[in-house]
C-alpha cells in the first residue's frame, strides 16, 4: 500500500494563497499610511511574488505528514496506556501541548 501523503501542489496552492493574502495586507497598510494619495489599493499589482522550488514543497509536505503522524501516534500511545483501542479527544488533549512545542 502506498503511503498517503500531502500533494505538493496542494501545499503550494495554500502557500501561495497565504503569501498573496499577506502581501495584500501589507499593501493595505502602506496605502492607509499614505492617506492623501488616491485610494486604489485593490488595483495595484503584487510587488513581490514569492515562490517555492519543487524539493522545498516536497519537504514541506513531508513535514506536514510527520506532524499528522506524530499527533496520531502520540495519541495512540496514550490510548494504549489506558487500555482503550480507540483514540478519543481526551487522548489528543493530553499530547497536544508537547506536540505544539515540538513543531
Contacts with other proteins, residue ranges (CB under 8 A): 1, 3-7, 10-11, 13-15, 17-19, 21-22, 42, 48-53, 55-56, 58-60, 62-80, 85-89, 91-92, 95, 98, 102-103
Of 56, 66, 58, the C-alpha closest to 7 is 58
Q: Which three cell numbers stand for residue 1?
A: 500500500
Q: Which is nearer to other proteins, 31 or 62 (CB)?
A: 62
Give the containing element (helix H, strand E) for 11: helix 8-33
Q: Which is nearer to other proteins, 34 or 47 (CB)?
A: 47
Q: Are 73 and 95 in contact (CB under 8 A)?
A: no
Q: Which is nearer to other proteins, 36 or 40 (CB)?
A: 40
Amino acid at each position: 500500500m502506498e503511503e498517503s501523503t500531502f500533494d505538493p501542489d496542494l501545499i503550494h496552492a495554500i502557500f501561495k494563497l497565504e503569501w498573496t493574502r499577506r502581501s495584500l495586507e501589507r499593501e493595505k497598510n502602506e496605502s492607509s499610511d499614505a492617506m492623501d494619495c488616491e485610494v486604489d489599493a485593490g488595483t495595484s499589482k503584487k510587488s513581490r511574488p514569492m515562490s517555492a522550488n519543487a524539493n522545498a514543497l516536497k519537504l514541506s509536505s513531508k513535514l506536514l505528514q510527520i506532524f499528522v503522524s506524530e499527533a496520531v501516534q502520540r495519541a495512540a500511545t496514550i490510548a494504549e496506556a489506558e487500555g482503550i483501542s480507540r483514540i478519543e479527544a481526551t487522548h489528543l488533549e493530553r499530547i497536544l501541548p508537547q506536540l505544539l512545542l515540538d513543531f
